[in-house]
Amino acid sequence: MRRRHLLAAAGAAALPLPALSQGAAARTLRVIPQANLTSLDPVWTTAVVTRNHSLMVYDQLVGLDIDLKPRPQMVEGWTIEDDGKSWTFTLRQGLKFHDNEPVRAQDCVASIKRWIVRDTIGQTLAQRLDELSALDDRRFRFRLKRPFPTLADTLAKPDVSPLFIMPERLAATDPYTQLREAIGSGPFRFLQDEWNPGQRAAWGKFDGYVPRDDAPSGTAGRKAPLVDRVEWTIISDSSTAAAALANDEHDYWEYPLHDLLPALRRNSGVVVGQRLSQGTYACCRFNQLHPPFDNQAIRQAVLMAVDQRDYMRAVVGDTPGSWEECPAYFTCGTPVSVSSGSETLKVRDMDRAKAALQAAGYKGEKVVLMAPSDYPQINAVSMVTADLLKRMGFNLEVVATDWGTLVQRRASRESVDKGGWSVIHTTWTGGSTINPALNQFARTNGERAWFGWPSDAEIEKLRDAWFDADAAEQVRITERIQARAFEVVPYVPLGFYWQPSAWRNSLTGVEKNHVTSFWNIGKA
């Protein structure tokens, strides 16, 4: 009953769109996305829906194959000289942007310089960068103060904040200012005049795109646009979305509710599959700039009350194998997975949490928790936290909003009485938190950190040492980072679940990937 109550806040369906002709439908990939697209800028926001849009519009210099190995994508390749302190990349011939201007090394340099300011691992690269310059129209070079052996992996990262290449004139925009147009060199053009946030978005095949010849794998290899159009329709009511897929009104549903998977599997025209190659991790994030969560002891008190099982059951239910606990800040089940310091998260005692909150000196400050009513999975974990905070005794206000509005508002650093926030929730794939280099949410570099802005010099010092350590020492450093993270609580880990997708069996080329991609997908 509680689970049905949590999922009931999914909202109403969007207004219906005019039906496509049979011929147009055969050339259009009709998608029900996970959330509403409100921002076009993959540097300004880390929202997954913006990243999925960007994967169609932009391309990456380096791709990451399904085995997590970097491979040339926009570049022909690279050379490494001067004992690892000089990397020179050469672009493939014939690349051009959607405005038909050629892709130049100058565009790459400008795009990297904008991205490097906001991205977690990019910021570390910036500390080691002596010079980044274009040598000519096709070649650009990194000159480093000291070696950065993971540079190719860094440029290939597919999740949270990938490096996408855009024209120099757009890349010159301040990284803290949101871009309002999207022009890249990827397989699809964004059709800006058809964009209606809250209802629909569309992309058209870019005839000037030149795919690679090598086999597709992850975000590497051939990225062929096999349909003329990709259309996203926002349908926030899950039952309506399921019916649209079952009745062949749509072709692909990115994040179907787990409650509806049995019915979808019974439909002979629908395939339910696990496209994402890693689990989906959930977290509770505090705003640490303002009371009460600027107080470490209060964050620790919340940690004592959390039971990951409640969160995962709220999203997935009790289906065997569909979720797992993960009392860790780094991806569970990987070679670097560590377990140090998680004792507080395993307390699961409301009485102890209440006593700890009182001892921490909570003064009844107002707490604003934003919950996305049109994003059922994140809304479900948000409601579990809301119930927990109320029972602990917090002065709580729950603001129900759409995901797009939440993405915009979470960038505010104001206090709650000036339109800010106290608590938000989000999810990411396991590939985003495999190690200290990639885990953007565990960074504690203050105002340069991800929304919530935690600050802890000790974690930052350990993370910097991790890059220069050998494999065995990296494991030891990761243990120390995690132990410290459970002390300062940059966020609360809530466990992970497997998020399937569903699509019509007329689709071809629907392969497993690190991310939700729409290239190489055709319609029979």
- Count, residues in the chain: 524
User: Which of 95-104, 319-328, 352-361, 453-462 shows the lowest mean pLDDT across its residues?
Assistant: 319-328
Look at 13-22, 59-68, 204-213, 302-311 and tell me which has the smallest mean pLDDT.
13-22
- How confident is the model at residue 278, as a pLDDT? 83
Asked if 327 and 344 touch (Cβ cutoff 8 Å), the reply is no
What share of the chain has pLDDT > 70, as a percent? 95
Choose which CATH entry (3.90.1170.50, 3.30.530.20, 3.10.105.10, 3.90.1170.40) describes domain 280-497: 3.10.105.10
Q: 134: Cβ–Cβ under 8 A, 6 or more apart, which residues? A: 104, 105, 106, 108, 109, 140
Confidence of residue 301 (pLDDT cuts 50, 70, 90): very high
Residue 341 confidence (pLDDT): 86
Instruction: Give yes or no for residue 15 having a pLDDT over 90.
Output: no
Please state which CATH class domain 62-168 belongs to. alpha beta
Which of the pair, 35 or 416, is modelled with greater confidence?
416
Average predicted confidence (pLDDT) for the chain: 93
Angle at 405 between CA 404 and CA 411, to 5 degrees: 100
| Spatial distance between the Cα atoms of 493 and 332, rounded to a whole number of angstroms | 11
Residue 22 has pLDDT above 50, yes or no: yes
Structural domain spans, the chain: 12-45+179-276+501-523, 62-168, 280-497
pLDDT band at residue 129 using 50, 70 and 90 as cut-offs:
very high
Q: What is the dihedral of CA 37, 317, 499, 405, to 10 degrees?
A: 10
Weakest-pLDDT range from 5-9, 179-183, 414-418, 505-509: 5-9
pLDDT tens digit sequence for 220-236: 999 999 999 999 999 98
Q: Give per-residue pLDDT as tens, 112-126.
A: 999 999 998 999 999
Quickly count: other Cβ atoms within 10 Å of residue 460's Cβ.
17
When pLDDT is averaged across residues 49-65 and rounded to a whole number, the result is: 96
Rg (CA), the chain: 23
Helices (H), ranges, 176-307:
238-246, 261-265, 296-305
> 495 in the Ramachandran plot: left (φ > 0), alpha (ψ -120 to 50) or beta?
left
Can you give the pLDDT at residue 4?
Answer: 41
Mean per-residue pLDDT, 424-452: 92
- pLDDT tens digits for 240-260? 999 999 999 999 999 999 999
Whether pLDDT at 21 is above 50? yes
For the ranges 100-104, 267-271, 316-320, 507-511, the lowest mean pLDDT is seen at 316-320
65: pLDDT strictly greater than 60? yes
What average pLDDT score do residues 460-466 get? 94
Which residue type sits at 145? K
* Residue 9: predicted pLDDT: 40
Q: Which of 276, 239, 263 is nearest to 32 (CA)?
A: 239
Q: Which of 522, 523, 524, 519 is nearest to 217 (CA)?
A: 519
Name the pTM for this structure.
0.85
Is residue 1's pLDDT more than 60?
no
Q: Which amino acid is at 450?
A: W
Nearest to 307 by CA among 290, 327, 287, 289: 327
Q: Under DSSP, is residue 93 helix (H, G, I), strand (E, B) or coil?
A: coil
Instruction: Using pLDDT thresholds of 50, 70 and 90, give the confidence band for residue 438.
Output: confident
Fold classified for 12-45+179-276+501-523 = D-Maltodextrin-Binding Protein; domain 2 (3.40.190)
Q: Which of 410, 399, 436 has its CA nearest to residue 285?
A: 410
The reported pLDDT for the residue numbered 333 is 83
Give the tens place of pLDDT for each residue, 264-300. Answer: 999 999 999 999 888 899 999 999 999 999 999 999 9
Share of the chain above pLDDT 90, in %: 84
Question: Residue with structure tokens 């990456």?
Answer: 60
User: What is the per-residue pLDDT for 19?
Assistant: 56
Helix 471-488 and helix 296-305, axial crossing angle in degrees, nearest 10: 100
pLDDT in tens, 162-190: 999 999 999 999 999 999 999 999 999 99
Identify the band that residue 20 occupies on the pLDDT scale cut at 50, 70 and 90: low
Distance between CA 205 and CA 189 in Å, rounded? Answer: 6
In order of 180, 230, 323, the CA distances from 519 in angstroms are: 24, 10, 29
Give me the pLDDT at residue 159, please.
85
What whole-number distance in Å separates Cα of residue 105 and Cα of residue 218? 25
Please say if the pLDDT value at position 6 is more than 50: no
More confident of the two residues 35 and 297:
297
